Amino acid sequence: MLDGRRATTHWRWADAFTARYPRVRLEPDVLFVDDGNVLTSAGSAAALDLCLHLVRRDHGAEIANAVSRRLVFAAHRDGGQRQFIERPVPSVPDDSLTPLLDWARERLDRPLTVADLAARAAMSPATLHRRFRDRLGTTPLAWLTAERVALACRLIERGERRLDLVARASGLGTAANLRAKMHRHTGLNPTAYRRRFGGG
């Protein structure tokens, strides 16, 4: 079934895979490969990336982003991203954090800080940091940045073309910072993201 087709697997098994299936066009470094009616991923976490890719492909970027937020998962990682990128792995969501997360999401256009989040949650910044690490697998600052990038992506998907407005509305400040953060989180700059996922 894979002979002559593009595919991937976990980097640890790449050499054994190539030796056993030499006719497969293996791409050992990427998270997943979409080769038409054959889709493969590099492992368990990459399988979630592939699932979100399918949701995005079949139902649109906004729905895929909503699903990723429900999963507390990175909004979008392109299949071509390297397998070796360090990314926090979320654990079981903590309902006690939900009001704080919702509060912050409603204020992403403002200059929120970790101290602001801690004050809202009535805990010290150190305690907040531990809670995020334990329950979400990331830091408050990393979570806040990821949410800002996700909002920026949604604005671009909906057709906003002025990057300075997107940057301000998402709390990323400047178009230059928007470009840098989007590229770091999605592997795409705003222009490439708009071309791939809509917004005209």
Domain ranges of the chain: 1-87, 91-200
pLDDT over 60 (residue 72): no
Q: What is the pLDDT of residue 93?
A: 47
Contact 116, 73 (CB under 8 A): no
Most confidently predicted of 18-32, 134-148, 158-172, 183-197? 158-172
Q: What is the pLDDT of residue 178?
A: 96
Residue type, 48: L
- Look up tokens 């009616």; give the residue: 37
Q: What is the chain's mean pLDDT, rounded?
A: 83
Q: Which CATH number fits domain 91-200: 1.10.10.60, 3.40.710.10, 3.40.50.720, 3.30.70.2740?
A: 1.10.10.60
pTM above 0.85, yes or no: no
Q: Is 94 exposed, middle or buried (0-12, 13-18, 19+ CB in 10 A)?
A: middle
pLDDT over 80 (residue 174): yes
pLDDT over 60 (residue 54): yes
Query: For residue 120, what are its two tokens?
Result: 């809202």
Q: What is the pLDDT of residue 95?
A: 64
Contact 139, 127 (CB under 8 A): no
pLDDT over 90 (residue 25): yes
Exposure class string for 61-70: b at 16+ Cβ within 10 A, else e: beebbbbbee
What's the sign of the alpha-carbon dihedral 112, 118, 124, 129?
negative
- Look up tokens 């979630």; give the residue: 48
Residue type, 68: S
pLDDT over 90 (residue 115): yes
The CATH class given to the 1-87 domain equals alpha beta
Q: What is the pLDDT of residue 163?
A: 95
As a whole number of angstroms, the distance between CA 21 and CA 26 comes to 9
- Look up tokens 């990314």; give the residue: 87
Q: What is the pLDDT of residue 50?
A: 85
Q: Average pLDDT for residues 100-129, to the nearest whole number?
A: 94
Same topology between domain 1-87 and domain 91-200: no
pLDDT over 60 (residue 195): yes
Q: What is the pLDDT of residue 73?
A: 54
Q: Which residue has the higher pLDDT, 8 or 85?
A: 8
Residue type, 107: R
Lowest mean pLDDT across 64-78, 98-112, 151-165: 64-78
Query: In what helix (H) or strand (E) does residue 169 lie, and over which residues does it extend?
Result: helix 163-169
